[in-house]
Structure 1
Amino acid sequence: MKMNFNLNLVQTQKLIMTPELKQAIEILQYNAQELNEFIEEELLNNPILEKLSNAATDQEETQPLKVDNDVEAEPDYEYDLDKGIKKEIDWEEMINYFEDARPMGNVSYDFDQEFSYDNFVAAEETLKDYLLMQLKFAKLEKRFYNIGEFIIESINDNGYLEINMEETAEFFKLSLDELETLIRLIQSFDPPGVGARDLKECLLIQMYQQGFEDSIEEILVKDYIEDLGQKRFAQIAKKINETVERVQLAYDYIKTLEPKPGRLFASMRDVRYIVPDVYVEKVKGEYVIAVNEAANPRLQINGFYKAMLKNVNRDELTSDYLNKNLQAALRIIKSIEQRRNTIYKVCKAIIEYQYEFFEKGLLYLKPLNLKDIADEVEVHESTVSRAVNGKYIQCPNGLFEIKYFFQSGVKGASGEGVSSESVKIVIKEMIDGENSKKPLSDQYLTDELNRKGINISRRTVAKYRDELNIPPSSKRKRF
């Protein structure tokens, strides 16, 4: 067998991830908060970038939520942003292109004028402040006040005490009985149940304050709280020699107690609001889409560097620096515009497909997968997935995560699909209207849904019921 070496020229095709494509993919999957953090970081790193001024934005658009459905997407920028830095570039033409471009769905927005009444709320009283105020009015020896303050400071936000009894008693040179007495005093404070060391003690404190000493309720909490949580009423009744109805009434009372007394003092400042990425409004019978510009401010080329690019003496160091930063800036601007356009197209396709949902409500939500929208928008499924991940849409029906519209489903009588969310609504309505003494079984629910033309199995009904956090019929039964 003869072996030799040859030189052959072979032409092949392969997909290469350019820096521009990588950045576009990364920016597309950002939600509003992540995109803002990315923009702030780039503004610090790249002096050529700056936020578009409010005055310029106001001149461009005066009607904030109107988007023309006939507007076509921006044409792709014709320059190769990845070409070598030694090649001559027409800087002025590049800048003018992006200066004249207008994104789809531009919204007038002035961040400086935005305010929330939550920011004007006076200083809030915390749980610890409330307890310390009550401690001041308690009749205690002077040396016990500091210990009481330490105990209150050891109470967490849910109202539970978190200390080691032995270490605390040794540190303050107290006996365990003295420390326990001081804790009992603080447990008598408002709100009821505060200062407990576990759930059982929390419930018992509230029961004693309401006069339920030596009662069936006390026995259930002390000895059968786990069985009570599983609604094993018949077994408990047999053990304590009581009727099932009496155990169930005790359970109903125990459910009214507060398991986390500290949450009554939860701060409104801890509330996190969802900022929609897309707004949908119905205007003159048609749905109008607007990508939220407030969630991601627009960028432009800094005026100082713009003037420098037109008048610069083309020395090598200056040209290299400007080339590097300008190409990075244009990549970011283009990627953000592409993100906006992609989200707009995906949401437009979703609205067209789920039109009956927007018109009639949740029961008319259709099964939908990523491939359906990807084919409509003419992009890859992964692009649709990135475009909807972690993003929200505000519409007349409410605020929804965009992924909510991608539902699995079952077959209906007409052959068309029925979304799983619509089936869950029907199941919940049936269970809400059931006789509590004779709750509907999963098999009965399955038969009823099949009669209504929804082809579904008993196992699927049980799965949907679990997802709704509805217990089985045996645990819903009232005696």
Structure 2
Amino acid sequence: MRMDFGLNLEQTQKLIMTPELRQAITVLQMSSMELTEYVEAQVLENPLLEMRDNDLERGEETGGQGDMVVEADKKDFDPDWLEYFEDRSDLGVSPGRGQREIAEQPNYEQFVSQAPTLTDHLMFQLGLSKTAGDLRPVVEYLIGNVDARGYLAISLAEANQQLKVGLPKLEEALKVLQSFDPPGVGGRDLQECLNIQLDLLGEDNPLVRILIADHLSDLAAGKLSKIAAKLNVSPQEIQEAADILKKLEPKPGRNFSNANDTRYIIPDVVVEKVADQYVILVNDVAIPRLSINNTYRQVLAKNSSADPDTKRFVEEKLNSAAWLIRSIEQRRLTLYKVANCLVELQRDFLDHGVKYLKPLNLRKVADLIGVHESTVSRATSNKYIQTPQGVFEMKYFFSTGLSGASGTQVSAESLKKILQEIIQQEDPSAPLSDQKIAELFSQRGITISRRTITKYRDELGIPATNRRKRY
């Protein structure tokens, strides 16, 4: 067997994931809040990065001596580094940015302060109450054992093992707790929670108490006729009692925040209608403005006496700083392009609401702005857009759809809106089945299966036919 050796040349293309490219991708995926935290961390790590003072930045833009200083500095730099200082936008200064920041300052009236927790709310009421001094520590202990639902998560026997005050005093303390707002707080189970609320409301319908005691599971399943037969009453009477129960809160504590509750969303993009045109603003006001530290820049000057290791360190950090600033600017431009494309494609939605939302996929937007689908996906990930119709995740605008009568596509969100309207207009005494609703869609020229109707109804939190029936 003869073996031959040869040398072949082959040219191939590969995408190498450099640290700079990885950073640019990471920055693109971040929301405004995440990017703010990331930039602050990078400033601590990279001595060449500085967070600009907005007042100073505006002073430079109004004709200060900043341009003269930069021009003078550039004479002393090696040609290889001039490119970093040719375009000052790469160093965190862009014309008009200061003026834009003034115009885009957030409306602080829209921010919601941290709401009190359930524990805070209960302790506040205890402080205002006339509870006896020796009973207050016992009530405080019980408050500390109220869970997020508003239920007492410990038995009185267990509490007595810790406090050694006797069950009568614990019962007295529990009554104090159960008299506080929200109604039903301090209940040890669902039944007690609901009965506390009935007592506070002065409700004396005995049928309601019977439903709470023995028929909650059947009531939740919508089996009103079955309950009526067992109790030998009419379905209408059960319906009236059930209506009273619906006014009660099964989890009285859930309307209060916890320590980690997020109170507001900061939109990454704001779309406002001015006259007949939509104006798009990338909300980057909170993101720190970056610049290069002048002291370290002098190390790269031709006549610098810095040793090679120091120059190499500064070069690496300058490279990293420049890439970060460029990545942030590229993120802003990409966000603007994507948002502008969404506004053009979904103008009917912006003008008229959810029913007019069109089906849209990532590829279409990517083709229109000349980028890859993955770029659009990253640009819209974990980001919110404020529109005249409300605040939405940017991913909300990308949805599948079905064909309408004229061959046009109808988005899933539009179908859900139509489904809601159909159910709102139905006869409560004879609610429509999912199959009947599908037939009504067909009459509108939209072919949709019963299973899809069921899926959308569940996603909207709308009960099934038997649970919507009114007697």
Q: TM-score, normalised by structure 2?
A: 0.86
Identity of aligned residues (%): 45
> Corresponding residue for 2:170?
179
Give the C-alpha shift of residue 155 in structure 1.
2.5
Find the counterpart in structure 1 of residue 311 from structure 2: 319
Match in the other structure for 1:208: 199
Deviation, 1:270, is: 4.8
Report the more deviating stretch, 454-463 or 333-342: 454-463
| 1:182-211 residue CA offsets vs partner (Å, 9 max, x unmatched) | 323432344432211222211011223344
Contact 1:99/1:300, CA 8 A, preserved across alignment: no
Residues 1:453 and 2:445 aligned together: yes
More moved, 278-287 vs 177-186: 177-186
Residue aligning to 1:18: 18
Partner of 1:259: 250
Which residue matches 2:341? 349
Between the two proteins, the alignment pairs up a number of residues equal to 451
* Corresponding residue for residue 71 of structure 2: none
How far 1:40 sits from its partner (Å)?
0.7
Distance 1:132 1:446, change over 3 A: same
- Which whole-Å deviations, capped at 9, do the CAs of 1:245-267 have from their partners, x for residues lacking one? 11111110011123333456658
Are the aligned partners of 2:191 and 2:213 in contact in 1 as well (CA < 8 Å)? yes
Matched residue SS, 1:50: strand
| Residue of structure 1 equivalent to 2:86 | 96
Among residues 410, 417, 429, which one is paired with 1:437 in the alignment?
429
Provide the C-alpha distance between the structure 2 equivalents of 1:59 and 1:111, rounded to a whole number of angstroms.
16
Q: Is the 8 A contact 1:280 1:395 kept in 2?
A: yes
Report the counterpart of residue 384 of structure 1 in structure 2: 376
Structure 2 residue corresponding to 1:305, chosen from 282, 293, 296: 296
Check whether the contact 2:142–2:174 (CA below 8 A) recurs between aligned residues.
Answer: yes
Secondary structure at the aligned position of 2:50 is classed as strand
Distance in 1, matches of 2:287 and 2:395, equals: 20
CA contact (8 A) 1:104 1:340 kept: no
TM superposition shift of 1:110: 5.9
* Greater Cα shift, 409-418 or 388-397: 388-397
Q: 1:198 to 1:348 in 2, by over 3 A?
A: same
Aligned pair in 2 of structure 1 residues 404, 431: CA closer, same or farther (>3 Å)?
Answer: same
Tell me, yes or no, if the aligned pair for 1:277 and 1:295 is still in contact at 8 Å.
no
Residue 264 to residue 326, structure 1, CA distance change in 2 (3 Å): closer
What code does the residue aligned with 2:407 have?
G
Q: Could you say which residue in structure 2 is the equivalent of 1:249?
A: 240
| More off after superposition, 161-170 vs 207-216 | 207-216
Structure 1 counterpart of 2:229, which letter? K
Q: Secondary structure at the match of 1:390?
A: coil
The residue that corresponds to 2:28 in the other structure is 28
Tell me, yes or no, if the aligned pair for 1:127 and 1:157 is still in contact at 8 Å: no
**Aligned residue for 1:223?**
214
Name 1:338's counterpart in structure 2: 330
Of residues 149, 154, 157 in structure 1, which corresponds to 2:145?
Answer: 154
User: What residue is the counterpart of 1:85 in the other structure?
Assistant: none
Structure 1 Cα separation of the partners of residues 449 and 115 of structure 2: 55
- Aligned-partner Cα distance in 2 for 1:251–1:123: 32
CA contact (8 A) 1:356 1:364 kept: yes
Distance (Å, rounded) in 1 between the aligned partners of 2:222 and 2:402 = 33
Deviates more, 1:407-416 or 1:47-56: 47-56
1:39-438 to structure 2, matched below 5 A, reads 39-55=39-55, 57-58=57-58, 90-99=80-89, 106=97, 108-109=100-101, 116=108, 126-133=120-127, 137-138=130-131, 143-212=134-203, 215-262=206-253, 270=261, 272-310=263-301, 312-313=304-305, 315-438=307-430
Q: Assess, with a 3 A threshold, how the Cα gap between structure 1 residues 344 and 56 changes in structure 2: closer, same or farther.
A: farther
Q: 1:275 to 1:150 in 2, by over 3 A?
A: same
Looking at structure 1, the residues matched to 245 and 60 of structure 2 have their Cα atoms a distance apart, in angstroms, of 61
Alignment partner, residue 70 of structure 2 = none
Tell me, in whole angstroms, the C-alpha distance in 2 between the residues paired with 1:379 and 1:459: 37
Compared CA separation, residues 345 and 113, structure 1 to 2 (3 A): closer
Q: Does structure 1 conserve the Cα–Cα contact (< 8 Å) formed by 2:112 and 2:263?
A: no
The alignment partner of 2:209 has SS state of helix
Confirm or deny: 8 A CA contact 1:194 1:262 kept in the other structure. yes
Q: 1: CA distance between counterparts of 2:25 and 2:137?
A: 58
| Partner-residue secondary structure (3-state), 1:418 | strand
Q: Answer yes or no: is the 8 Å Cα contact 1:364–1:422 preserved in 2.
A: yes
Change (3 A) 1:229 1:146: same
1:465 corresponds in structure 2 to 457
- Alpha-carbon displacement from aligned partner over 1:93-130 (angstroms, at most 9, x marks no partner): 32233457876995722699867358898996932323
Distance 1:407 1:105 in 2: 37
Q: Could you tell me which amino acid in structure 2 is paired with residue 31 of structure 1? A: S
Deviation at 1:145, TM superposition (A): 3.7
Deviation at 1:366, TM superposition (A): 0.9
Matched to 1:51, the amino acid is M
What SS is found at the alignment partner of 2:101? coil
CA change 1:452–1:275 in 2 (3 A) is same
Unaligned runs of 5+ in 1: 63-87
Q: Secondary structure at the match of 2:185?
A: coil
Q: Describe the SS at the equivalent of 2:430.
A: coil
CA deviation profile, 1:359-394 (whole Å, cap 9, x unmatched): 333222111001111111121111110000111112
State the distance in 1 between where 2:262 and 2:114 align.
16
1:332 CA displacement? 0.4
Gaps of 5+ in 2: 63-77
- Contact 1:61–1:108 (8 Å) recurs in 2: no
Asked if the contact 2:90/2:326 (under 8 Å) is kept, the reply is no
Distance 1:216 1:38, change over 3 A: same
Moved more, 26-35 or 295-304: 295-304
CA 1:99/1:435 → structure 2, altered by over 3 Å: closer, same or farther? Answer: closer
Q: Report the Cα distance in structure 1 between the residues aligned to 2:34 and 2:61, rounded to whole angstroms.
A: 26
Residues 207-216 or 220-229, more deviating: 207-216
Distance 2:373 2:251 in 1: 44
Give CA-to-partner distance per residue, 1:152-200, whole Å, 9 cap, x none.
3322454322224333212332444553343234323444322112222
Question: Over aligned residue pairs, what C-alpha RMSD do you find?
Answer: 3.2
Aligned to 1:475: 467
